[in-house]
Amino acid sequence: MFIAQAFKYYHQFWRYLIGSLIIIVASVIGQLPFTFAILYKKGFGILGATEADLMQVLDSNLNLFLLLLSFVFAMGGIVLVTKFLHHQPFVKLTTSREKIDWKRIAFGFTLIALFTIISTYWDYSNNPEHYVLNFKPVSFAILCVIAILMVPIQTSVEEYVFRGYLMQGFGILAKNRWFPLLLTSVIFGGLHFFNPEVDKLGNIIMIYYIGTGLLLGIMTLMDEGMELALGFHAGNNLVGVLLVTADWTAFQTESILKDVSTPTAGFQVILPVIIIYPIFLLIMAKVYKWKNWKEKLIGTIELPENTEDSVLNEI
């Protein structure tokens, strides 16, 4: 079982607290190049500027690269913490299977990528006045290289932290599944509270962010591994970065289209959570023959057999 297998390694909760701090420090170190680049460009007069102002200082491709660089450092922190603090094989932070199932990652990626492309094309066809063509061949080519290399790292870091590291840590603490599912979803959504989308659309967008965390958590628990969530998150962000940008989004890129419509928050914010996300889960449940929903989502966690006493008793 995905959460229970963490009992086989050094799993005391203080380790998860220290590990989380190490990952945060690694991420902060990774943010320094972006900070230095801003200071070099504008000097200390930029201090106190809004996030929107900071996003306009650098070239958009350089801006994206430096923003995503912090996730490269964070990934290094996750690898080190898993290996040296928990003595846990990285594959066991990823899945309950013997090895990572790349076909599952590809399925999750393809499902959301196709949906995003089709829904964007439909909206563009019906509301062309909401978009302007933003395609610049050279800039887009550079964007593709940066995005294809680094966006999957960004999304993987978020998945390994929330659906992997904290899901196992909170699961071991509570010895059930519903607590880590809800808590990681709320924390995941809460960390998006400072995104510029919240200022533009209002707090109602938090339903979408928390709901997305809940969707990815359900995928992980029902499938006993993170592969579907890894692929889904990467497909969502990568296609979004390449396809559409807007002046009020967290990532402003040299994408194909630019959304120039006036953003409004309403039922379209809640629609994915209550209708589209359940459809995604039903598709995955059909493909991967998910069963025992109640037990896998809210059941207790049993100590695995053959867990070494030295791991159990270590403090």
Greater model confidence, 32 or 1 = 32
* Cα(71)–Cα(69) distance, integer angstroms: 5
Do 217 and 185 touch, CB atoms closer than 8 A? yes
DSSP states along 17-83: HHHHHHHHHHHHHHHHHHHHHHHHHHGGGGTT--HHHHTTTS-HHHHHHHHHHHHHHHHHHHHHIII
How does the average pLDDT of the chain come out, rounded?
Answer: 91
The predicted structure's pLDDT at residue 29: 97
DSSP states along 280-315: HHHHHHHHHT---HHHHHH-B-PPPTT--HHHHH--
* Cα(223)–Cα(30) distance, integer angstroms: 32
Segment 61-77, tens digit of pLDDT = 999 999 999 999 999 99
* Cα(66)–Cα(186) distance, integer angstroms: 27
The predicted structure's pLDDT at residue 194: 79
3-class state of residue 146 by DSSP: helix
Do 232 and 219 touch, CB atoms closer than 8 A? yes
The predicted structure's pLDDT at residue 192: 86
3-class state of residue 259 by DSSP: strand
3-class state of residue 15 by DSSP: helix
Distances (CA, A) of 130 to 55, 90, 270: 22, 44, 21
State yes or no: pLDDT of 49 exceeds 80.
no
Instruction: Count the neighbouring beta carbons within 10 Å of the beta carbon of residue 276.
Output: 14
DSSP label at residue 164: I
State yes or no: pLDDT of 313 exceeds 60.
no
- Nearest residue to 236 (alpha-carbon basis) of 133, 154, 165: 154
Distances (CA, A) of 216 to 20, 26, 210, 282: 20, 24, 10, 13
* Cα(212)–Cα(188) distance, integer angstroms: 9
Q: Which residue has the tokens 């994206």?
A: 64
Please give the structure tokens belonging to residue 120.
């964007």
Please report the sign of the dihedral spanned by the C-alpha atoms of residue 168, residue 7, residue 22, residue 146. Answer: negative
Strand ranges across the sheet with 131-133? 131-133, 257-259, 244-245
Share of the chain above pLDDT 70, in %: 92
pLDDT, average across residues 298-314: 70
Segment 142-187, tens digit of pLDDT = 999 999 999 999 999 999 999 999 999 999 999 999 999 999 999 9
Please give the structure tokens belonging to residue 52.
């929107």
